[in-house]
Structure 1
Amino acid sequence: MSRAQQLHELLVEGSELNIVCHNNPDPDCLASALALGRIAANAGIDEQHILYSGDISHQQNRAFVNLLDIDLKPFDPTALQDRAADALLAFVDHSVPGANNNVPEGTSVDIVIDHHPAEDIGAQFVDHREEVGAAATILTEYVRTLDIDPDAVLATALLFAIRRDTLNFLRGATREEYDAAGYLHDHADHDLLRQLSTPSVTGATLDAISTAIDNRTTKAAVLISHVGRTTERDAVPQAADYLATLEGVETTIVFGIVHDTVHLSARSPDPRIHVGDVLRETFKDVGSAGGHHDVAGGEIPLGLFADYTTDDEQLLDIVEQVITARLLAGLDLADDSEE
């Protein structure tokens, strides 16, 4: 029995499906949730909910939700306590309660479909494939295996998610991504794909990227920078993507303060550096971080710096000094840097 069929067998026993996205969900998570909902409907589950915590702030993510008219609901952790015995709980594009989600640690999860590095995954159904480039690739495989005809919305969502998570097949793409994209191509709305690929950019995002350009520090082929304080959470990874194109740079790490949290984003095609491991080991005692060898991220509660100062400018200086020093140490680089 294929994994898709095993999933179907589990779903036919359920009366309700709650699909919990990771915090601040991206297109890969959202498209995967949409596809899992269609698979559940095919198995006879009429009541499905796609739940999320955090923000959908990246302009491409907002366009994705709005243009595809995805029905999202805020996640309420207390609601899980009262769910019926046959109400299933699913994770897509993440895998462990309490890790990049607001699900209480120790919560029983029924379905996990993910491609990110993780340990101690527990669920009735687990499909964890670190080798594939996107969770949407796995869900596309299920749709094909179960002979579910994807409509234009679902096909567009999955195809865009695969393209986005692999940087148009330039990062972490495998043969499975190309195969999935080839299947989805004839079903997708290509005008809608173009709209999703070219969303407008906010002034705050441009300001944050400009700040990161001004604040960049390099040592050998490593660039570290920050965007200061911003309301645009996704400006941090966007700044990392932009600075990663700088000539001579192999590894880029950008951080910034968003509300009460320090966000980090890293990029590195350098095979000698696993940025997911670097961030995890560097900040495991103060926050949560990790990811793949070439793309990673993390979050550190700003409260850890509260004892330093209540002045925002001084706080920014302290955060910059502490985060940069930790990163340089984690990368085995000398503290002296060249700009």
Structure 2
Amino acid sequence: MKRSVAKGLNIYFILLYFVLLILTATTAMFFASGNNTEGIISACLVVVTAIAAFYVIMVLRTTVSERILWNAVQIGTIHEQYMNQWDYPYAILTLERTVLWYNQEFKKLFADVDDLEEKSIEELLGGIKLQKDGRELEEKEITYNGRYYFLRLNRVQIEDDEQAEEKDGLDEHVKQFYTISLIDITREVELEQENLDRQTVVALIYIDNYDLVFSSMEEGRRPLLEAMIYRRLNDMAAELGGILTRLEKDRFFLIFPHKALLKIEEGKFKILEEVRKLNIGNKLPVTLSIGVGIDEKLEQSQEYARAAVDLALGRGGDQAVIKNEERYIFYGGRTSGVEKNTRVRARLIAYALKELIVESDRVFIMGHKNPDLDCFGSALGIYRGVTALNKPAHIIMGGPHPAVMDLYRRVVEERDYADIIIDEEQALDYTDENTLLILVDVNRPSICESSRLVEIIKNVAVIDHHRTSVENVGKAVVSYVEPYASSASEMVTEVLQYLTERIKLKPVEADGLFAGIALDTKNFTIKTGVRTFEAAAFLRRNGADSIRVRKMFKNDMEEYKAKAQIVASAKIVYDTMAIAEWVSGMDNANAVAAQAADELLDIAGIRASFVLTKTPEQVNISARSLGDINVQLIMEKLSGGGHLTVAGAQLKGVSLEEATAKLREAIEEFTRGSDRE
């Protein structure tokens, strides 16, 4: 600044000197036009005037310069004193983030540091990382010495006049430094936390299998078990400082202060395990589904709690779900669902579905992308049920997939199935206000054959056996999601028996449903219950042939070699899990990978298997387990899903090595049990 002021003064006084000199010379020339005496006098006058003017200008220049510079120094001193009086820490930093100047409050904040100058601000703040991308402003909340501060880092630019003139004002000659201020917001944070702690949290607690548990034990012991369950729940409510109310025989309502939520989260909802361990003669363990809602408004908290408990039930029960405005948090869910022996719900769903079909003008049936036999088989079953009610129906499928090619050929060769399979564009042409969409073997819009149709069509029904994820068809008019069921084909077979009287399946439809059950149960060895065999028996009576079904699972030589290659390349991790990588060029890569994952489970000691398949578009992961490891929870960490024994995920924009690293990280989190699930 001093250099700029001095330069301006020099230019000013030089111009003033030349103006006076020119005026004096002009006057002298006027007098010189007379005679020599006057000329000599004029010349002397010019010299004296020039000397006098130079002396006056120099004295004036010194006085003015000193006054201006003194004022500038005074202003700078006042400004510095003013910044020292600020009641919050303030400092000026170099481009390297080292301290250049600081006020008194900044010095007090770091009183234990001897020399603050040239110290890195990040080191002073305990390793807090600040911006590195040259942004002009960064604001963030930090903690230091147990207090909260609002940090404001500002980049300042000052153009150097001399350099700008000499270098034509190029950007590299712009001086930069940073200013940093730290506002103490500890009181505000404490008040905000105090307000949050006082909020009321709503929880809904359901006993998943109340009727099954109590019907499996002696009548005299039932009141004792019921009292023990209520005692455990009451103890939890007292520990949380809340109030527990019984709504129905198997449903409870709990409210407690938000500050107690951390306590129950740290214990990972140990009430789930405590109730599950109760045994006084009951043949089945008691499991709970808990939904917790958090919001400033009490009524909204109740809505969140209801949505959370519905999600917990849709994921198989025996877990807790916390929902707030931003996200869901899951605890538990590591056990398999318990099969219900009663078909009451299947009958009720059939009646509700029948009403929807009868009231609709047209019905679309759709599964997930890259359909398998369970998806296509259950779609054929629903098609038969809709046509039995004399309503037009179409199956939406983009094209024949290798996994269902044999069944697909049989369908298109049947005369009665002409034009029943359409694509998305054809379906959009037929869609109107009175169209019904039935989703089978899928409850996530993003992986449906056409997510666009899910958005457009108002009336949607869902029949699925996969655990419900956060992303689901929330607007479904009828939702039949049973994670304990072996397959969607089993569920559809049961619904068909109540949809119309004496329904008659065609052999291709019966084969498709039977193949779907066989696929998802690994030929009736995994997740197979009484109702699974009852459904298979019904299909056999309606023309299903096990020999024809077995032909659908046959592989050619190339597929067989590929499976052998995958199994041979597998690596064992955590002693009980197998991971295999495969770069595929085959059309039915996913089906081959899934079969290889199944075969890896046949190896002694392997409890879970993961096969990663690299395709041009993405990396697909097929996950399988024998039931004691919930592969769905692992796949959900990779934005996938499925159910306890069969799950999968798709990773886009990553290499095979990166996908394997992400999978190992997800497995490690699950194995440690350090996460919330």
TM-score range, shorter chain: 0.7 to 0.9
- Match for residue 509 of structure 2? 154
Give SS of 2:559's match. Answer: helix
Post-superposition CA distance 1:22-59 (Å, at most 9, x none): 111112111211121121112221x211111365112x
What is the CA–CA distance in structure 1 between the aligned matches of 2:557 and 2:422, rounded to whole Å? Answer: 27
Give SS of 1:181's match. Answer: helix
- Match for residue 311 of structure 1? none
Shift in alpha-carbon separation, 1:215–1:292, aligned structure 2, 3 A: same
- Match for residue 255 of structure 1? 612
Please tell me the residue identity of whatever aligns with 1:113.
I
- Give yes or no for contact 2:593–2:611 (8 Å, CA) kept in 1: yes
What is the CA–CA distance in structure 1 between the aligned matches of 2:530 and 2:622, rounded to whole Å? Answer: 27
TM-superposed deviation, 1:150: 2.5
Please tell me the residue identity of whatever aligns with 2:523.
N
Instruction: With the length of structure 2 as denominator, give the TM-score of the two structures.
Output: 0.43
Give SS of 2:668's match. Answer: coil
What is the CA–CA distance in structure 2 between the aligned matches of 1:127 and 1:65, rounded to whole Å? Answer: 26
- Indicate the larger mover: 9-18 or 90-99: 90-99
Give SS of 1:185's match. Answer: helix
- Match for residue 57 of structure 1? 402
TM-superposed deviation, 1:211: 2.9
What is the CA–CA distance in structure 1 between the aligned matches of 2:506 and 2:570, rounded to whole Å? Answer: 45
- Match for residue 142 of structure 1? 495
Give SS of 1:252's match. Answer: strand
- Indicate the larger mover: 101-110 or 322-331: 101-110
- Give yes or no for contact 1:23–1:55 (8 Å, CA) kept in 2: no
Please tell me the residue identity of whatever aligns with 1:117.
R
Shift in alpha-carbon separation, 1:89–1:152, aligned structure 2, 3 A: same
Shift in alpha-carbon separation, 1:179–1:33, aligned structure 2, 3 A: same
- Match for residue 663 of structure 2? 327
Please tell me the residue identity of whatever aligns with 2:401.
I
Shift in alpha-carbon separation, 1:37–1:184, aligned structure 2, 3 A: same
Instruction: With the length of structure 1 as denominator, give the TM-score of the two structures.
Output: 0.83
Shift in alpha-carbon separation, 1:330–1:173, aligned structure 2, 3 A: same
- Give yes or no for contact 1:19–1:89 (8 Å, CA) kept in 2: yes
Give SS of 1:40's match. Answer: helix
What is the CA–CA distance in structure 2 between the aligned matches of 1:22 and 1:95, rounded to whole Å? Answer: 9
Aligned mate of 2:566, from 190, 212, 235: 212
- TM-align CA RMSD: 2.3
Give SS of 1:249's match. Answer: coil
Shift in alpha-carbon separation, 1:64–1:79, aligned structure 2, 3 A: closer
TM-superposed deviation, 1:91: 0.6
Are 1:297 and 2:651 counterparts? no
What is the CA–CA distance in structure 1 between the aligned matches of 2:426 and 2:394, rounded to whole Å? Answer: 15
Aligned mate of 2:531, from 176, 190, 193: 176
Are 1:264 and 2:609 counterparts? no
- Match for residue 463 of structure 2? 113
What is the CA–CA distance in structure 1 between the aligned matches of 2:410 and 2:429, rounded to whole Å? Answer: 33
- Match for residue 632 of structure 2? 276
Shift in alpha-carbon separation, 1:296–1:277, aligned structure 2, 3 A: same
Are 1:224 and 2:579 counterparts? yes
Shift in alpha-carbon separation, 1:187–1:294, aligned structure 2, 3 A: same
- Give yes or no for contact 2:612–2:660 (8 Å, CA) kept in 1: no
- Match for residue 129 of structure 1? 482
What is the CA–CA distance in structure 1 between the aligned matches of 2:519 and 2:440, rounded to whole Å? Answer: 16
Q: Which portions of structure 1, spanning 4 or more consecutive aligned residues, are displaced by more than 4 angstroms?
A: 68-72
- Give yes or no for contact 2:611–2:621 (8 Å, CA) kept in 1: yes
Give SS of 1:116's match. Answer: coil
Shift in alpha-carbon separation, 1:177–1:239, aligned structure 2, 3 A: same
Shift in alpha-carbon separation, 1:153–1:55, aligned structure 2, 3 A: closer
The runs of 5 or more residues in structure 1 that have no matched partner are 306-318, 334-339
- Match for residue 389 of structure 2? 43
- Give yes or no for contact 2:369–2:447 (8 Å, CA) kept in 1: no
Please tell me the residue identity of whatever aligns with 1:75.
D
What is the CA–CA distance in structure 1 between the aligned matches of 2:428 and 2:529, rounded to whole Å? Answer: 36
Post-superposition CA distance 1:62-111 (Å, at most 9, x none): 11222344756353258437611112112111123223433137444521
**Larger helix fraction of residues:** 2
Give SS of 2:622's match. Answer: strand
- Give yes or no for contact 2:584–2:614 (8 Å, CA) kept in 1: yes
Post-superposition CA distance 1:196-237 (Å, at most 9, x none): 313442344234223313321112111101122232322111
By relative contact order (CA 8 Å, sep 6+), the higher-ranking structure is 1
- Give yes or no for contact 1:24–1:55 (8 Å, CA) kept in 2: no
Please tell me the residue identity of whatever aligns with 1:2.
L
- Match for residue 185 of structure 1? 540
- Give yes or no for contact 1:268–1:294 (8 Å, CA) kept in 2: yes
Post-superposition CA distance 1:160-208 (Å, at most 9, x none): 2212221122111222111111222222242xx3133134423442342
What is the CA–CA distance in structure 1 between the aligned matches of 2:387 and 2:548, rounded to whole Å? Answer: 28
TM-superposed deviation, 1:157: 2.2
Give SS of 1:12's match. Answer: helix
* Rg larger for: 2
TM-superposed deviation, 1:11: 0.6
- Match for residue 194 of structure 1? 547
What is the CA–CA distance in structure 1 between the aligned matches of 2:425 and 2:564, rounded to whole Å? Answer: 38
What is the CA–CA distance in structure 2 between the aligned matches of 1:91 and 1:225, rounded to whole Å? Answer: 32
- Indicate the larger mover: 65-74 or 121-130: 65-74
Shift in alpha-carbon separation, 1:181–1:213, aligned structure 2, 3 A: closer
Give SS of 2:364's match. Answer: strand
- Match for residue 444 of structure 2? 96
Shift in alpha-carbon separation, 1:77–1:174, aligned structure 2, 3 A: farther
Shift in alpha-carbon separation, 1:244–1:206, aligned structure 2, 3 A: same
- Give yes or no for contact 1:159–1:188 (8 Å, CA) kept in 2: no
Please tell me the residue identity of whatever aligns with 2:408.
V
TM-superposed deviation, 1:252: 0.6
What is the CA–CA distance in structure 2 between the aligned matches of 1:86 and 1:18, rounded to whole Å? Answer: 11
Between the two proteins, what is the percent identity of the paired residues? Answer: 24
Give SS of 2:517's match. Answer: helix
What is the CA–CA distance in structure 1 between the aligned matches of 2:401 and 2:596, rounded to whole Å? Answer: 17
Aligned mate of 1:85, from 430, 433, 436: 433
